[in-house]
Amino acid sequence: MEKVLEVKGLTKLYKNNRGINDINFEIYKGDIFGFLGPNGAGKTTTMKIISGLCRADQGEVRIFGFDIVEQFEKAMQNVGCIIETVEAYEYTSAYKNLELVSRFYKDIKKARIDEVLELVGLKDYKNEKVANFSLGMKQRLGLAAAILSKPELVILDEPTNGLDIEGMVDIRNIITQLASEQKITFFISSHLVHEMEITCSRVGIIYNGKLVKMGYVKELLKSYDTLENCFMDQVRKEKSGT
């Protein structure tokens, strides 16, 4: 299996003594890898280090074999991200936002911008200022920006955060559609265990800054009724120190 992302011994401690400790995992081509954990477990910190927004105290991240610190441009060439929150230039339109993003990649034509806007359901609002967008529309725009360059790996930190049920289902459907049709590998974080169970092919459970369990969803569900039970079991073990 082709390795897309490789994380080795990732450690980062903040001043408040929280952070992540010795995180190790790999993501393979075609995975929809879910990073499951409660708020404050270290999901966003890990994703920030992976995408170069933060530096680790120790450890190494390789994307498509390129070191994220030493070979940043090459590592990020085929990656699309939403980290923590969707950011957009609110003073301009959705289309202009994507046009600004498109300059960082080769051969993104105007038709591709229209194509992704249609895919995320924003085609009718493409000339509207982002300042007037709802949270759900901004989330869709963020996803459009992340997939604009046809990346091979898409990293999404809590992509359904703050969305209503319809918005969550829409985002989930877009992810599964892109994974099956365009063979995009996804790395998604969430604290919503049911969402992870139905979206992801593999999951890693992170708790208190440590990766406590990893496996294929189908395999985990052979031992547990639901992923929630698996998660709670891991939390109990972690709390009791067993």
Binding residues for another protein, rule: CB under 8 A, are 48, 51-55, 72-77, 79, 81, 83-85, 87-89, 91-92, 96, 100-101, 103-106, 145
Nearest approach in angstroms of CB 19 to another protein is: 12
| Token code pair at residue 202 | 């593999």
Of 25, 29, 27, 22, residue with least CA distance to 7: 25
Give which of 94, 158, 175, 164 is closest to 136, Cα–Cα: 164
CA 202 – CA 3 distance, rounded (Å): 14
The 10 Å Cβ neighbour count of residue 89 is 13
Q: Which is nearer to another protein, 29 or 74 (CB)?
A: 74
Q: How far apart are the first and last CA of the chain?
A: 32
Size (the chain), residues: 242
Minimum CB–partner distance for residue 185 and another protein (Å): 17
Least distance in angstroms from the C-beta of 67 to another protein: 13
Q: How many CB atoms lie within 10 A of CB 240?
A: 7
Residue 224 CB, nearest approach to another protein (Å): 35
Q: Which residue number, 150 or 176, has a Cβ lying nearer to another protein? A: 150
Asked whether 135 and 87 are in contact (CB, 8 A), the reply is no
Beta carbon nearer to another protein, 107 or 166? 107
Instruction: Compare residues 158 and 195 and give the one whose CB is closer to another protein.
Output: 158
Residue 84 or 233: the one with the smaller Cβ distance to another protein is 84
Nearest to residue 90, comparing CAs of 60, 130, 150, 137?
130
| Rounded Cα gap, residues 25 and 7, in angstroms | 5
How is residue 230 written in tokens?
């698996």
Residue (41 or 56) nearer to another protein, CB: 56
Q: Find the shortest distance in angstroms from Cβ 15 to another protein.
A: 12
Smallest gap from Cβ 153 to another protein, in A, equals 12
